[in-house]
C-alpha cells in the first residue's frame, strides 16, 4: 500500500522543527537588489530566479537552514509556488482525480505533506467556487472536500495535554481555511472494530501478537487505511486523497523490495489506486519532501506535532538510507520512483474512461492519453487479506489447493511478506490472531475486490 500522508515513511516531517521554529516568512517576493542597495557578498550579484529572471531566489532572500541549494537556490517564492502547484494540478487533471461531482476526503496527519495537499485541494475548490459563481448557467457543481485525521493514541499513547494540543492545532488548521467549510472527521483507529466489542483491547492484543517490529508497524499502516476507507465510505466520500510524495514513495519502493513485495510494488506507486472501495489518489506523487517542507516554510503553513511514534525496523533503516542518498544527489528520490514507475501497473491503476458530461472535455481527452492499453497492465483478482496486495501466481496456486479452517485459510491467503512479518509463527496462535483481526479484513477476500474498478467514479 502506498503510504498515506500520515504514513509517510520518509523525510516529509524531517524538517518540521526547522519549519515550526522559523518566525518570519518571506511571503512577498523581493526583486533583485540594485548595486546601490545591495548588502550581500561584496562584488557578487546574486543570480535571479531561473524562471522569471527578475526576482531574487528564495535562498538569496533568506531560506530555512540547509536550503541554500535545490529549488531555494533556483526559484523565487512565486515561481517555486506556482511550479509546485502546477505539478499537483497536472496530476489531478490528467488522472481525473477530482471532477466537479466529487466529494473528496483528504487524509490529514499533520505533517508537511498533508498540510500542502490540504492547502492545494482547498485552492482548487476555491477557484472552482469562484468559477461557479461567475458562470451564467451554474451548471458545473463545485466538488466537496472533507478532512480525516486518524487518531492513533490507542496504539501510540501520548500525554493528554500533548494530545489535546495537537487536536486543537488540527482543528484550527482545517477550520481556519476560507470557505467553503470543510468537515473534519477525527477518527480513533479503534473504530475499525464495532463500537461494542472492546476495540482498544482487541487492537492491543492483535498488535501484541505480532513479534516483528516492522510487521507491527506495517500492520498499523494497513489498519489506518482500513479506518480511512471506513470513514470515507460512511460519510459519503468517493475519493480518498493521500499526501504521499516522491520521497515517501521512494522509501516504499526500497522497503517493498527488501520485504519481498516486488510483485505487488507497482500497484502501490501509481497516481490512482482503485483496488479499494473508495479509490485512493496521490496528487503529490511528483513533489519531494524537500519541496513540500520549503512551501510550508515559505507560506507559513502550519504543521502539527505528530502523535505517531518514530519509525522502527526496516522502514526506519530504509528512510535513513534514502535520506542519505538524497543528500548526496538531490534527484535520487525521483530516480527511484521513476525507475519503479517503469514496472507494469495493475488493471486497478487504470484511469477509467468516463463519459460524464460533468467532466470537462479536455480532462476526458487527457485521461485517454494517459491511459495504458489493457495488455500493458497486470490483472489480478486475489488480494492479501492483511495488506490488500495483489497475489502472484505461486501464491494463488496454494490458495486454490487449500480447504481448511478459517484461520489456516488466512495463513494460505496472505502474501508471503505478511506471512513472514505479521502472522504468528506458531500455528496454535493463528486461531486467536484471526479472531482479533477486524472483520473487514478477514471478509475482504470473500467479497473480492476485482469489481472495484467500476467504483472509481
Ligand atoms: Zn521567479
Ligand atoms: Zn500481505
The grid coordinates listed for 175 are 477550520
> How far apart are the CA of 304 and the centre of ligand 1, in A?
30
**Residue 267 vs residues 89, 104, 279, 432: alpha-carbon distances, Å:** 22, 21, 13, 31
The yes-or-no verdict on residue 76 having pLDDT over 70 is yes
CA 83 to ligand 1 centroid distance, Å: 10
Distance CA 226, CA 228 (A): 5
pLDDT for residue 42: 47
pLDDT at 354: 61
Q: How far away, in angstroms, is 23 Cα from ligand 1 center?
A: 23
Who has greater pLDDT, 6 or 340? 340
DSSP lists the bridge partners of residue 273 as: 280
326-352: average pLDDT: 89
- 346 near 266, Cβ under 8 Å? yes
Distance from the alpha carbon of residue 440 to the mean position of ligand 2, in angstroms: 15
The closest ligand to the CA of 31 turns out to be 1
Q: How far apart are alpha carbons 287 and 112 in whole angstroms?
A: 12
User: How far apart are the CA of 218 and the centre of ligand 2, in A?
Assistant: 10
Look-up of cell digits 459519503 = 236
Give residue-wise pLDDT tens across range 172-192.
999 999 988 999 999 999 999
Sign of the alpha-carbon torsion through 423, 440, 261, 380: positive
pTM: 0.84
pLDDT digits (tens, 9 = 90+) for 202-228: 999 999 999 999 999 999 999 999 999
pLDDT of 85 above 50: yes
- Ligand 1 midpoint to CA 28 (Å): 12
pLDDT in tens, 58-71: 888 776 655 555 78
CA of 247 to the centre of ligand 2 (A): 23
Contact 123, 89 (CB under 8 A): no
Asked if pLDDT for residue 21 goes beyond 50, the answer is no
Q: Residues of the chain with pLDDT > 90: what percent?
A: 51
- Output 445 or 55, whichever has higher pLDDT: 55
Residue 377: band (very low, low, confident or very high) from pLDDT cuts 50, 70, 90 = confident
pLDDT confidence band for 272 (50 / 70 / 90): very high
Cell matching residue 301: 503553513
Separation CA 156–CA 153 (nearest Å): 5
Find the 53 Cα to ligand 1 centroid distance in Å: 6
State in Å: Cα 105 to ligand 2 middle. 25
Strands 239-241 and 272-273: unpaired
- For residue 441, how many other CB atoms are within 10 A of its CB? 20
What is the 84 CA–ligand 1 centroid distance (Å)?
13
With vertex at residue 423, the alpha carbon angle to CA 420 and CA 428, rounded to the nearest 5 degrees, is 120
Amino acid at each position: 500500500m502506498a503510504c498515506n500522508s500520515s504514513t509517510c515513511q520518509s523525510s516529509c516531517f524531517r524538517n518540521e522543527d526547522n519549519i515550526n521554529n522559523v518566525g518570519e516568512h518571506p511571503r512577498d517576493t523581493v526583486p533583485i537588489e540594485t548595486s546601490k542597495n545591495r548588502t550581500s557578498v561584496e562584488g557578487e550579484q546574486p543570480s535571479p530566479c531561473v524562471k522569471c529572471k527578475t526576482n531574487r531566489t528564495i535562498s538569496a532572500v533568506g531560506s530555512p537552514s540547509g536550503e541554500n541549494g535545490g529549488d531555494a537556490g533556483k526559484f523565487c517564492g512565486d515561481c517555486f509556488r506556482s511550479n509546485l502547484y502546477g505539478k499537483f494540478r497536472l496530476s489531478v487533471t490528467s488522472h481525473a482525480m477530482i471532477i466537479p461531482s466529487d466529494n473528496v476526503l483528504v487524509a490529514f496527519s499533520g505533517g508537511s505533506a498533508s498540510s500542502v495537499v490540504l492547502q492545494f485541494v482547498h485552492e482548487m475548490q476555491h477557484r472552482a467556487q469562484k468559477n461557479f459563481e461567475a458562470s451564467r448557467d451554474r451548471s458545473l457543481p463545485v466538488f466537496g472536500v472533507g478532512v480525516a485525521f486518524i487518531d492513533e493514541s490507542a496504539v501510540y499513547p501520548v500525554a493528554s495535554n500533548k494530545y489535546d494540543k495537537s487536536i486543537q492545532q488540527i482543528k484550527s488548521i482545517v477550520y481556519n481555511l476560507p470557505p467553503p467549510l470543510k468537515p473534519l472527521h477525527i477518527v480513533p483507529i479503534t473504530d475499525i472494530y464495532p463500537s461494542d466489542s472492546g476495540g482498544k483491547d482487541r487492537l492491543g492484543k492483535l498488535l501484541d501478537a505480532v513479534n516483528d517490529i516492522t510487521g507491527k508497524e506495517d500492520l498499523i499502516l494497513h489498519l489506518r487505511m482500513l479506518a480511512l476507507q471506513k470513514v470515507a465510505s460512511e460519510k459519503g466520500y468517493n475519493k480518498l486523497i493521500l499526501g504521499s510524495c516522491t520521497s515517501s514513495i521512494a522509501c516504499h519502493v526500497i522497503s517493498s523490495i527488501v520485504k519481498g513485495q516486488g510483485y505487488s510494488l507497482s500497484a502501490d506507486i501509481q497516481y490512482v489506486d482503485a483496488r479499494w472501495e473508495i479509490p485512493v489518489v496521490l496528487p503529490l506523487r511528483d513533489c519531494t519532501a524537500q519541496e513540500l517542507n520549503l512551501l510550508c516554510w515559505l507560506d507559513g503553513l502550519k504543521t502539527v506535532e505528530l502523535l505517531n511514534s518514530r519509525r522502527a525496523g526496516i522502514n526506519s533503516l530504509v528512510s535513513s538510507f534514502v535520506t542519505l542518498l538524497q543528500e548526496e544527489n538531490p534527484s535520487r528520490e525521483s530516480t527511484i520512483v521513476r525507475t519503479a514507475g517503469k514496472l507494469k501497473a495493475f488493471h486497478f491503476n487504470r484511469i477509467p474512461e468516463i463519459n460524464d458530461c460533468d467532466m470537462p472535455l479536455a480532462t476526458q481527452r487527457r485521461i485517454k492519453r494517459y491511459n495504458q492499453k489493457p495488455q500493458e497492465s497486470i490483472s489480478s483478482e486475489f488480494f492479501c487479506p492483511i495488506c490488500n496486495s495483489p497475489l502472484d501466481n505461486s501464491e494463488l496456486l496454494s490458495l486454490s489447493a487449500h480447504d481448511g479452517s478459517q484461520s489456516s485459510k488466512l495463513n494460505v491467503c496472505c502474501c508471503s511478506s505478511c506471512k513472514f512479518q505479521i502472522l504468528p509463527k506458531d500455528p496454535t496462535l493463528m486461531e486467536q490472531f484471526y479472531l482479533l483481526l477486524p472483520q473487514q479484513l478477514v471478509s475482504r477476500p470473500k467479497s473480492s475486490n476485482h469489481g472495484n474498478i467500476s467504483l472509481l467514479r
